[in-house]
Amino acid sequence: MSGIGVVICIAIAASAALGVYLRLRQMATVAAHRDSVPVDFARDVTLDEHRRAADYTIARTKFSIVEKVFDAAFSILWLAFLLAPLYAAIASFIEPGLTRSVVTVLAFGFIGDLMDMPFSAAKAFWLEERFGFNRLTPARFLADEAKTSALELAITAPSLFAMFALLRATPQTWWLMAYVAFMALMIAMTILYPTLIAPLFNKFAPLDEGVLKRRMEALLAKCGFESKGLFVMDASKRSTHGNAYFSGFGKAKRIVFFDTLLEKHSPDEIESILAHELGHFKFGHVRQMLLQGAALAFLGFAALWWAFGSDVFAGWFGLPSDPGLVLVALFLVKEPIAHVLSPLFAWRSRRAEFEADAFARDVVGKEPMISALTRLTRDNLATLTPDPLYASFYFSHPPVPVRVARLRMAS
Ligand SMILES: [Zn+2]
């Protein structure tokens, strides 16, 4: 490996060290506040619940430290020692060409998935289980893993073949065409995901007739949202965590409630959660995320164009310049860059959450939103006292105390 290769491996290690440092801060802050419920929540959250939330947060954070260190160590091992023999093994039975490049990427992905599996299993059956959230059975876990892998293979294999073929046909301009094709695939996925892919994993049913549905429909009509986009998902077969989300755009847009959320919340709270999701729709957040993804993908393809055409990139890691290997190496190299940029994307996402909260407050008032957020936090054992620096790096949603304070502040 060359000097630059060593520097990149050090950057991966430094990124992991930063991740560990932020997690240690998070654990220390949560532990320091474990024995007193923040004043704003003293009425709704018992000391016992608060302590359980602290224990759960600390357990999860510890777990993610192990994951982070393992990931970084493996990335470095791949670059420094393992990619070359993996490629040599593949090269010994596949001739140079498209297939060899595609198989290299798929083999790397497959090994990565296998390594992740024990972590996913431990998360569900040990971590979530201990705090009473897990509802997954081993059979369902394995079925989920198999379905996800099959789906990944069905999408990546043909895409990789097409990309490498394009690269061979037009070495200078391939990446612009590949980028356009990639974006078309992203947009198609955004539209098709709710109707084709999500149903492979969960059942989606329209909301039951009744008072709740009538109230929701009135709210939808008020906000100009077609009511056929409202669904209940059987999330309870995997976990007791409650949630709601917004997906798709145009005619394909829908709002999905976890059945676990509908069970636990009052109609007023559910209405405020719906109003919050409608806020995402009103402000065009899905479209903004897609545009952000488009900009990032453009940079990604530009980097690939450079790396595929470069005489030096593969050599940094002592690797042959097969496009499959180059793609894998670039994937590993991007991690520290993505990590350093994560506060920017997290900040944008939190800003969108504030906008959706403000919309919900205007539509249904602040009280139901505050009580919905409080209940969600309590039931999901989310911490009320995160470390601010940790939150600024990783939180896609502002900490609940901040959201509640902002809702209270507005008159
Ligand atoms: Zn939201």
Q: What is the pLDDT of residues 6-49, one digit of tens each?
A: 999 999 999 999 999 999 999 999 999 999 999 989 999 999 99
Using a 10 angstrom Cβ sphere, with 0-12 exposed, 13-18 middle and 19 or more buried, the burial of residue 208 is exposed
- Distance CA(75)–CA(279), nearest Å, equals 40
Q: Specify the amino acid at residue 267.
A: P
Tell me the pLDDT of the chain averaged across its residues: 93
pLDDT mean over 85-105: 96
- Centre of ligand 1 from the C-alpha of residue 351, in Å: 10
Total count of residues recorded for the chain: 411
- Distance CA(190)–CA(248), nearest Å, equals 5
Q: How confident is the model at residue 180 (pLDDT cuts 50, 70, 90)?
A: very high
pTM of the model: 0.91
- Distance CA(384)–CA(236), nearest Å, equals 24
pLDDT mean over 83-100: 96
Q: Specify the amino acid at residue 335.
A: E
- Distance CA(319)–CA(313), nearest Å, equals 9
Q: How far is CA 136 from CA 61, 125, 129, 236, 377, in A?
A: 21, 8, 9, 9, 22
pLDDT mean over 164-183: 95
252 has a pLDDT exceeding 80: no
- Distance CA(79)–CA(389), nearest Å, equals 31
Q: Where are the domains of the chain?
A: 3-200+283-409
- Centre of ligand 1 from the C-alpha of residue 66, in Å: 29
185 has a pLDDT exceeding 80: yes
pLDDT at residue number 250 = 74
β-pair partners for 256: 231, 245
Handedness of CA 175, 176, 178, 182 (dihedral sign): positive
- Centre of ligand 1 from the C-alpha of residue 163, in Å: 35
**Residue 322 DSSP SS3:** coil
- Centre of ligand 1 from the C-alpha of residue 278, in Å: 9
**Residue 206 DSSP SS3:** strand
- Centre of ligand 1 from the C-alpha of residue 353, in Å: 5
- Centre of ligand 1 from the C-alpha of residue 281, in Å: 10
| C-alpha count within 13 angstroms, C-beta hemisphere, residue 360 | 31
pLDDT at residue number 227 = 63
- Distance CA(175)–CA(302), nearest Å, equals 7
Where would I find the beta strands (DSSP E) of 99-209?
204-206
Determine the longest span between alpha carbons in the chain, in angstroms. Answer: 71
- Centre of ligand 1 from the C-alpha of residue 249, in Å: 15
Q: How far is CA 190 from CA 55, 173, 193, 196, in A?
A: 36, 26, 5, 10
Q: Specify the amino acid at residue 310.
A: S
Q: Where are the alpha helices (DSSP H) in 365-409?
A: 366-379, 388-394, 400-409
β-pair partners for 255: 230, 246
Q: How far is CA 159 from CA 85, 223, 297, in A?
A: 25, 39, 15
- Report the share of the chain in percent with pLDDT over 70: 100
Question: Range with the lowest mean pLDDT among 20-24, 193-197, 366-370, 385-389?
Answer: 193-197
- Centre of ligand 1 from the C-alpha of residue 349, in Å: 9
- Centre of ligand 1 from the C-alpha of residue 398, in Å: 10
- Centre of ligand 1 from the C-alpha of residue 408, in Å: 18
Q: Which residue has the tokens 């490629």?
A: 87
- Centre of ligand 1 from the C-alpha of residue 134, in Å: 24
- Centre of ligand 1 from the C-alpha of residue 128, in Å: 23
401 close to 40: Cβ distance less than 8 angstroms: yes
207 has a pLDDT exceeding 90: no
> Phi-psi region for residue 238, left (φ > 0), alpha (ψ -120 to 50) or beta?
alpha
**Residue 410 DSSP SS3:** coil
- Centre of ligand 1 from the C-alpha of residue 381, in Å: 18
